[in-house]
Chain A
Amino acid sequence: MTTLQPPIFPRMPRGRRDQRRYTERPSSDGLLGRAVVQSFVKLDPRLTARNPVMFVVWCGTLVTLAATLEPRLFELSPEAPGRGFNALLSLILLATLLFANFAEALAEGRGKAQADALRRTQASTQARRLLPDGSEALVDSSALRRGDQVCVSQGEMIPADGEVVDGVAAVDESAITGESAPVLKEAGSDVASSVTGGTRVVSDMLLIRITADPGKGFIDRMIALVEGAERSKTPNEIALTVLLAVLTQVFLIAVATLPPVAAYIDSPTPVVVLVALLVALIPTTIGGLLSAIGIAGMDRVAQFNVIATSGRAVEACGDITTLVLDKTGTITLGNRLAEEFLPVGGHSERELATTAHAASWFDNTPEGKSIVRLAEKLDAVTALPMDTATGLEFSARTRMSGTDLADGNELRKGAVEAIKGFVRSRGGTVPADLDEAYERVSRLGGTPLAVCWNAEIHGVIYLKDIIKPGMRERFDQLRRMGIRSVMLTGDNAITAGVIAREAGVDDFIAEATPEDKIAVIQAEQRLGRLVAMTGDGTNDAPALAQANVGVAMNSGTQAAKEAANMVDLDSDPTKLIDIVTIGKQLLITRGALTTFSIANDVAKYFAILPALFGKAGLAPLNLMGLASPQSAILSAMVFNALIIPALVPLALKGVAFRPSTADQLLRRNLLVYGLGGLVVPFIGIKLIDLAVSALRLV
């Protein structure tokens, strides 16, 4: 074994990120149809009342409908708008409501389709439950409880989430990950022992201890999440809801107090027109799209094959200021290979290679195997009696592994500091040229492993680390977004420094133990930073829970997955960067549409007020030259309604995001959505007015 954890990402997708293909989306057949039906169902006031802005529109629609049935219900003056106008207005308001409902239904529908696909994997199966006396009983998978043991053999479906107790088998997890290559599952290994219900064993047999009661498994939680059943508003959504409610309240008061004011100057204000003015002013655009934006954000995360446990987690991603990453498997390729033997203390290279060969005899990690291969290449095969020897496993505490011979000789290899300690404890001395060899390897960015035979150090093995292609650009992007990356590694400071420089991370923690992770995260959080990290091992679970955003690899243990607030089905640690982008897009989309919505009000005022108060001498405010008061009001309302479906694609896809500084982003988005929000309605309302008067609607 080596000084570091074994390689942990067996199914890293290969190739460039943008060329990678993710799961095919579940078919969207019938999605539109269902959304249309849902948008009518959502007219139920109990549902609408959850959205304050749209509820005001709903109430307004009632008023205009009443005025359509009896145009003289609220009005005294003979000039009040007639039934035709009221009916048109009611239709437009109804359309506004339906469009907003449609946006939400469409976003939900995409999640539902995904949930349906997942649910199909959940079909009840028969499981062979192991009874205490050793016999098997055929039970329904829904009857399984936590702690039961089941036996699953080739071709059978794993009935529920669990840990492998015994056996080695290939498991097809494509149902949840979309990756068709089977994964090897075996007992005892930290990461490869967890299995998910609904996946299929394709070879051999597994004995599994069930870890989840029915309905509480991983897939169940995923279904609940993508369906939005557990969707609760995120903190930012809540704050925005408050602001929208306040704006609505302000405009409600402003409009409701108008009639007596206008009556004072003998300018009657028809109730339906006041309703139109109110609906035009309240932020219906963002109010109608707010929940769709949130749902679509979760959905986009899911498209990246990541399951977020809450919208809150996705939103928090946008705020991440520090990224804590493991070096191995994330920044460098998982497998480090032995490159060279550097003998010290007067030993020959061959002597060292032979000792290393023996010390790695029981080491099945790729590092260990590569040492054996390199020694064999040098023809330095050990002649020691390995059949009577015993292997010593690597542990994070001792940071070394090795072989104990039957005659009491102890062969060790491991972190240089650990071996030095071992040698001293056996009364040996550390050769003077060890540090030189150690530094040479470190400066090359490699991992030095010291090798000793009892109390005598024979030399250093140079393990070469390979940085994944494209990492530097990714970290540059992160830096531009204001995100600091911290690399954690068990390597010594010099090696870590070299790798950190080459990969372009901002900071590194060398010679880190798993416990250091949580300490690093806590230290960053004390400085007020929001930390994201990826992890997979059981010993990562506390750190995943501590981090503001913890992404567990699907290949990781159940404990890690439960502690994290996201699970990456592809087990690709660099994907955190994409999730951060989605989180940011989510917030930008919300902000952009809010700004747009409020900026729109200026034009709507200039359309409706002169129409409403033409008699009071405000006709000169009709800057757009709209044909008639009634057509001006209708045009503004049609614009108000149509802008919602027009912006649905933007709400669902999110505003384009290019990593850049806050100032550049602000400038660009203000120009597009702020200035655009001021100008677009002037043009839109004028065009609609032309159409309305051409069609002689009023």
Chain B
Amino acid sequence: MASPSGLLSKPLFWLPLMLVLGTVLAAPLFGSSPSPLQSTALALLLNGTVVLSGYLFVVIFQPERF
């Protein structure tokens, strides 16, 4: 945790950040949902899928890290 670069390489730091940020960005797409809970949930789901896909790309190009 000492250096900022060490912090940035920690998935525990940027993963929640990406999830929250992406969800906020994607939420308007599901504005027509009956409840705000559902629109948030769907936005989170969509964003989670994108993040998961990004994770898979990391695995594909740097399999040694896993």
Which A residues lie at the B interface, using CB under 8 A?
Answer: 49-52, 55-56, 59, 63, 66, 72-74, 76, 233, 238-239, 241-242, 245-246, 248-249, 252-253, 256, 271
Give Cα distance in the complex from A271 to B48, angstroms. 13
Q: How far is the CB of B8 from chain A (nearest CB, A)?
A: 17
Give Cα distance in the complex from A256 to B54, angstroms. 14
> Contact check: which of B37, B41, B63 meets A245 at CB < 8 Å?
B63
The digit string for B23-52, where 1 denotes a CB below 8 A from any CB of A, is: 000000000011001100110010011001
Interchain Cβ contacts under 8 Å between A and B, 26 examples = A49-B11, A49-B55, A52-B55, A52-B59, A52-B66, A56-B56, A59-B52, A63-B45, A66-B41, A73-B37, A74-B38, A74-B41, A74-B42, A76-B34, A233-B64, A233-B66, A239-B63, A245-B56, A245-B59, A246-B56, A248-B56, A252-B52, A252-B53, A256-B49, A256-B53, A271-B45
Give Cα distance in the complex from A76 to B57, angstroms. 32
> Contact check: which of B33, B34, B45, B63 meets A233 at CB < 8 Å?
B63
Contacts of B42 in A (CB 8 A): 74
Give Cα distance in the complex from A241 to B58, angstroms. 12
Contacts of A246 in B (CB 8 A): 56, 60
The verdict on A252 contacting B45 (CB below 8 Å), with A52-B59, A245-B56 known, is: no
> Contact check: which of A63, A242, A256 meets B59 at CB < 8 Å?
A242
- Complex contact B56–A249 (CB within 8 A): yes
The verdict on A253 contacting B45 (CB below 8 Å), with A49-B66, A50-B66, A238-B63 known, is: no
Contacts of B57 in A (CB 8 A): 249
Give Cα distance in the complex from A558 to B48, angstroms. 54
The verdict on A74 contacting B55 (CB below 8 Å), with A51-B66, A238-B63, A238-B64 known, is: no
* Nearest A residue (CB) for B51: A59
Give Cα distance in the complex from A253 to B34, angstroms. 27
Contacts of B53 in A (CB 8 A): 249, 252-253, 256
Give Cα distance in the complex from A50 to B53, angstroms. 15
Give Cα distance in the complex from A52 to B54, angstroms. 11
Contacts of A55 in B (CB 8 A): 55
Give Cα distance in the complex from A72 to B42, angstroms. 11
Give Cα distance in the complex from A256 to B64, angstroms. 27
Give Cα distance in the complex from A52 to B55, angstroms. 8
* Nearest A residue (CB) for B50: A256
Contacts of A245 in B (CB 8 A): 56, 59-60, 63
Give Cα distance in the complex from A236 to B46, angstroms. 33
Q: How far is the CB of B63 from chain A (nearest CB, A)?
A: 5
Q: How far is the CB of A418 from chain B (nearest CB, A)?
A: 52
The verdict on A74 contacting B59 (CB below 8 Å), with A50-B66, A56-B52, A238-B64 known, is: no
Contacts of A73 in B (CB 8 A): 37-38, 41
- Complex contact B55–A241 (CB within 8 A): no
Secondary structure class of chain A's binding surface, majority of residues: helix
- Complex contact B38–A242 (CB within 8 A): no
Contacts of A59 in B (CB 8 A): 48, 52
Give Cα distance in the complex from A248 to B63, angstroms. 14
Q: How far is the CB of B11 from chain A (nearest CB, A)?
A: 8
Contacts of B59 in A (CB 8 A): 52, 241-242, 245
Contacts of B34 in A (CB 8 A): 76
Q: How far is the CB of B10 from chain A (nearest CB, A)?
A: 11
Give Cα distance in the complex from A241 to B45, angstroms. 25
Contacts of A233 in B (CB 8 A): 63-64, 66
Contacts A239-B63, A242-B60, A252-B52 supplied; 9 other A-B pairs, CB < 8 Å: A63-B45, A66-B41, A76-B34, A238-B64, A241-B59, A241-B63, A241-B66, A249-B60, A256-B53
- Complex contact A252–B66 (CB within 8 A): no
Give Cα distance in the complex from A245 to B64, angstroms. 13
Q: How far is the CB of B26 from chain A (nearest CB, A)?
A: 13
Q: How far is the CB of B64 from chain A (nearest CB, A)?
A: 6
Q: How far is the CB of B14 from chain A (nearest CB, A)?
A: 14
Contacts of A63 in B (CB 8 A): 45
Contacts of A50 in B (CB 8 A): 66
Contacts of A239 in B (CB 8 A): 63
- Complex contact A252–B49 (CB within 8 A): yes
* Nearest B residue (CB) for A239: B63
* Nearest A residue (CB) for B34: A76
The 6 A-B pairs with the shortest beta carbon distances in the complex, nearest first, are A245-B59, A249-B56, A52-B59, A241-B63, A238-B63, A50-B66
Contacts of B64 in A (CB 8 A): 233, 238
Give Cα distance in the complex from A233 to B63, angstroms. 9
Give Cα distance in the complex from A76 to B38, angstroms. 9
Contacts of A56 in B (CB 8 A): 52, 56
Contacts of A253 in B (CB 8 A): 53
Contacts of A256 in B (CB 8 A): 49, 53
* Nearest B residue (CB) for A253: B53
The verdict on A242 contacting B55 (CB below 8 Å), with A74-B42, A74-B45 known, is: no
Q: How far is the CB of A173 from chain B (nearest CB, A)?
A: 37
Q: How far is the CB of B61 from chain A (nearest CB, A)?
A: 8
Contacts of B49 in A (CB 8 A): 252, 256
Q: How far is the CB of A63 from chain B (nearest CB, A)?
A: 7
- Complex contact A52–B45 (CB within 8 A): no
* Nearest A residue (CB) for B42: A74
* Nearest B residue (CB) for A245: B59
Contacts of A271 in B (CB 8 A): 45
* Nearest A residue (CB) for B48: A59
* Nearest B residue (CB) for A247: B56
* Nearest A residue (CB) for B12: A46
Give Cα distance in the complex from A59 to B63, angstroms. 20
Give Cα distance in the complex from A465 to B53, angstroms. 65
Give Cα distance in the complex from A256 to B49, angstroms. 8
The digit string for B9-22, where 1 denotes a CB below 8 A from any CB of A, is: 00100000000000
Q: How far is the CB of A93 from chain B (nearest CB, A)?
A: 15
Contacts of B48 in A (CB 8 A): 59
Contacts of B55 in A (CB 8 A): 49, 52, 55
Contacts of B37 in A (CB 8 A): 73
Contacts of B11 in A (CB 8 A): 49
Contacts of A242 in B (CB 8 A): 59-60, 63
Contacts of B63 in A (CB 8 A): 233, 238-239, 241-242, 245
Q: How far is the CB of A190 from chain B (nearest CB, A)?
A: 39
Q: How far is the CB of B35 from chain A (nearest CB, A)?
A: 9
